[in-house]
Amino acid sequence: MSKGKYRVSSNEQIHDELYMGDSIIHRLDPRVKLICCGFFSIVMAVCRTWDALLVGLFFSIIWVFMARLPLAKVVTRLIMVNGLIGVLWIIIPFAVKGEAVFSLGPFTATREGIAYALQITVRSNAIILALLSLLATSSLFSLGHAMGKLGFPDKAVQLLLFAYRYIHVIHMEYRRLMNAIRVRGFRPRTNFHTYKTYAYLVGMLLVKSYDRAERIRRAMLCRGFNGKYYDLTEYRLHTTDIVLGVSFGFCTVVVVLAEWTVRTHLFI
């Protein structure tokens, strides 16, 4: 059997093709992206007024168009996220006290509960769109290197990069084990044998993952690894990076001002 049979091919990599573009945001320094996206996400997470949330959603949509991302892929990711948010719509409208809107049996949906669920939806979509336009337009390796340049702990950066690199290998090992039990006639059912087989599968996957991690560690030690991942990438800020970074920061400040204006009733 060829040693390369279980080699991870490009078709089995995590789909991060959004970074393979040539827009002005794709060419932006990843350090600037991390700072701007982090600032914007934190602000959106703490905003509570409709004005600020809608302004933030508007800016994040503009950034998606600036990044020239394929709309089909963006919509697909939004559907996945909103599928999870849909679970909250089943609970929150009936869990928040307030003015009753309609009832389903013993459960009563309130206007305040619906508004709260809608705010969560708008906030989440704004943050996801910002992540897609600012972070998904860079490869994970470049983001990891940028995190190191920004002073993130070395262990956190290494954990991110190694997890991304070897999650594919673990997935291939899982597929190999699944193929092995299927060849032996295994068919999943709701019985004790199925549960026991899956337990053995998870156990073997953990053992093989630990064994592979140990072999990788020894190989790295043989190559002089001393606990630090040396990055040879050099980042230089250009005028475009500064201008875009300031503009993204200004957009975030506008969201903050919208929140502050409504809360303090400045113009009322």
pLDDT tens readout for residues 169-185 = 888 888 998 999 999 88
Give the pLDDT confidence score for residue 10 in this predicted structure. 40
Q: What is the pLDDT of residue 4?
A: 42
Better-predicted residue by pLDDT, 15 or 29: 29
Mean pLDDT of 118-140: 93
Does 8 have pLDDT greater than 80?
Answer: no
Domain boundaries of the chain, sorted by first residue: 10-148+233-264, 152-222
| Beta-carbon contacts of residue 198 (< 8 Å; ≥ 6 apart) | 188
Residue-wise pLDDT for 200-211, tens only, equals 999 999 998 899
The token duo for 56 is: 């933030």
Q: Which of 60-69, 138-147, 257-266 has the highest mean pLDDT?
A: 60-69
Cβ 99 vs Cβ 111: under 8 Å: yes
Q: Has this prediction a pTM greater than 0.85?
A: no
> Which distant-in-sequence residues (6+ apart) come within 8 Å of 51 by Cβ?
258, 259, 261, 262
Strand partners, 108: 103
- Tell me the pLDDT of the chain averaged across its residues: 86
Give dist(CA 60, CA 57) in Å, integer: 5
- State the pLDDT at residue 130: 95
For residue 91, how many other CB atoms are within 10 A of its CB? 12
E-state strands within the chain: 100-104, 107-110
pLDDT for 186: 87
The amino acid occupying position 216 is I
pLDDT of residue 225: 81
Question: Of 125, 139, 109, whose CA–CA distance to 13 is shortest?
Answer: 139
Q: What pLDDT score does 159 carry?
A: 86
Q: What is the mean pLDDT of residues 134-141?
A: 88
Phi, psi of 101 (to 5 degrees): -110, -50
| End-to-end C-alpha distance for the chain, whole angstroms | 76
**Rounded Cα gap, residues 122 and 30, in angstroms:** 26
Compute the distance between CA of residue 118 and CA of residue 160 in angstroms, rounded to an integer.
33
Is a pLDDT exceeding 80 seen at residue 3?
A: no
Q: What's the burial of 248, exposed, middle or buried (CB within 10 Å: 0-12/13-18/19+)?
A: buried
Distance CA 212, CA 204 (A): 12
Side chain identity at residue 95, one-letter code: A
Residue 119's pLDDT is: 94
Cα separations in angstroms, 25 against 21, 50, 82, 133, 245: 9, 28, 25, 8, 10
Residues forming a β-bridge with 103: 108
Residue 235's pLDDT is: 80
Average pLDDT over residues 246-265: 92
Q: Which of 5, 4, 2, 3 has its CA nearest to residue 179? A: 5
Higher-confidence residue of 132 and 163: namely: 132
